[in-house]
């Protein structure tokens, strides 16, 4: 009897009597109907630009971009740079050249920049941690792009959250915003593209004629309390438009304040009212009488 682990018999079999390899032993996996799933193919990545911070991410960002006139934010105050650059000087103590240098440092230290192009309204990180510009994204996931890490850092920062959460000024109060927080150059360029550049320049120089000054006052809403005057101007403009369009004055409407003024003037002096009607669009005297009869009849019925 051979001792355990003796392979002499196996060697003898292989050298003399072996007729081929043994049949393949079947395992349990061969009896399973469904084969093991193949690993999914690796999806390819493509380059796509960082979308930045947009109104899709936070609606307050859209409101901020629509109302903000600066090209960036997140920088330290001008007072901080004034003290750092000029040995503790106050901003008000600086010369014009020193203020220009401080403004340059203030702009360069911005942590985000605002982009308000016709096709792109977004905010991108800049400064020490700028936007990475291009992202590696899966080809199957290009429709839902997320901002890069540095743009996310800007979004989560306290200065940015304070900026987009700040209450916006009303349209009638925008003219009181200091010029240092606006971009006058963009306003002038917009005026040139809209064909009102000369008007804005003349209004700025304050050397325009009476009619241009009137337009300037209208744009500033300086006549908002002069209801009779506004009613007179509105009547003249609408009447001229009907005249140029060859339309009749039937069912012409007047503002209540101007209508009351016409009735008072007619009651004081019909002759003066008739003379005024030659130059100004007013109700016909017959129309005045008809309106008065209606008022008297309604008073009697009450």
236 and 140 belong to one structural domain: no
197 and 266 belong to one structural domain: no
71 and 149 belong to one structural domain: yes
The burial class, CB within 10 Å (0-12 / 13-18 / 19+), for 232 is buried
- Provide the greatest CA pair distance for the chain: 151
Q: How far is CA 294 from the centre of its chain?
A: 51
Cα dihedral 165, 110, 93, 176, rounded to 10, equals: -40
**What is the model's pTM?**
0.51
Q: Which residue range forms the structural domain that includes residue 101? A: 46-165
164 within 8 A of 62, measured Cβ to Cβ: no
54 and 159 belong to one structural domain: yes
Please report whether residue 2 resides in a domain: no
Please report whether residue 171 resides in a domain: no
Print pLDDT tens along the chain (302 aa): 566 667 677 677 767 766 665 555 556 555 555 556 666 666 688 888 999 999 999 999 999 998 888 888 999 988 999 999 998 889 888 899 999 999 999 989 999 999 988 889 999 999 889 999 898 888 777 677 889 999 999 999 999 999 999 888 887 787 777 777 777 676 666 666 666 665 556 556 655 567 777 777 787 788 888 888 888 889 999 989 988 988 888 888 888 888 888 888 888 888 888 888 888 888 888 888 887 777 777 766 66
Which tokens hold the place of 195?
A: 């064909």
Please report whether residue 4 resides in a domain: no
Please report whether residue 30 resides in a domain: no
What is the C-alpha to C-alpha distance for residues 71 and 86, in angstroms, rounded to an integer? Answer: 26
| pLDDT value of position 259 | 86
Instruction: Return the DSSP state at 136.
Output: E
Please report whether residue 23 resides in a domain: no
The SS3 call for residue 243 is helix
- Which domain-ending residue is among 165, 194, 219? 165
Q: For residue 61, which phi and psi values (nearest 5 degrees)? A: -65, -40
Sign of CA dihedral 245, 246, 252, 254: positive
Q: For residue 128, which phi and psi values (nearest 5 degrees)? A: -70, -30
- Looking at the structure of the chain, the number of domains it has is 3
255 and 296 belong to one structural domain: yes
240 and 188 belong to one structural domain: no
């Amino acid at each position: 009897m051979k001792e355990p682990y003796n392979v002499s018999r196996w060697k003898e079999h292989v050298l003399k009597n072996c007729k081929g390899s043994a049949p393949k032993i079947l395992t349990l996996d061969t009896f399973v109907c469904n084969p093991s799933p193949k690993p999914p193919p690796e999806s390819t990545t493509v380059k796509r630009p960082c979308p930045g911070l947009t109104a899709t991410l936070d609606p307050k960002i859209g409101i901020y971009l629509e109302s903000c006139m600066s090209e960036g934010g997140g920088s330290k105050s001008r007072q901080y740079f004034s003290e750092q650059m000029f040995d503790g000087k106050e901003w008000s103590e600086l010369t014009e050249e020193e203020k220009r240098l401080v403004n340059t440092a203030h702009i360069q230290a911005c942590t985000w920049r605002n982009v308000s192009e016709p096709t792109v309204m977004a905010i991108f990180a800049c400064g020490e941690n700028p936007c990475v510009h291009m992202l590696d994204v899966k080809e199957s996931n290009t429709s839902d792009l997320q901002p890069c890490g540095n743009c996310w850092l800007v979004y989560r920062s306290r200065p940015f959250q304070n900026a987009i959460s700040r209450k916006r000024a009303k349209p009638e109060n925008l003219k009181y915003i200091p010029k240092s927080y606006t971009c006058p150059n963009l306003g002038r360029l917009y005026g040139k593209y809209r064909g009102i550049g000369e008007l804005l320049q003349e209004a700025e120089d304050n050397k325009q004629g009476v009619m241009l000054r009137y337009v300037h006052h209208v744009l500033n809403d300086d006549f908002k309390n002069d209801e009779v005057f506004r009613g007179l101007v509105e009547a003249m403009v609408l009447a001229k438009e009907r005249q140029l369009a060859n339309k009749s004055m039937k069912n012409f409407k007047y503002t209540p304040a101007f209508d009351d003024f016409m009735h008072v003037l007619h009651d004081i002096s019909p002759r003066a009212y008739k003379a005024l009607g030659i130059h100004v669009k007013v109700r016909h005297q017959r129309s005045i009488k008809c309106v008065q009869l209606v008022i008297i009849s309604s008073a009697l019925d009450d």
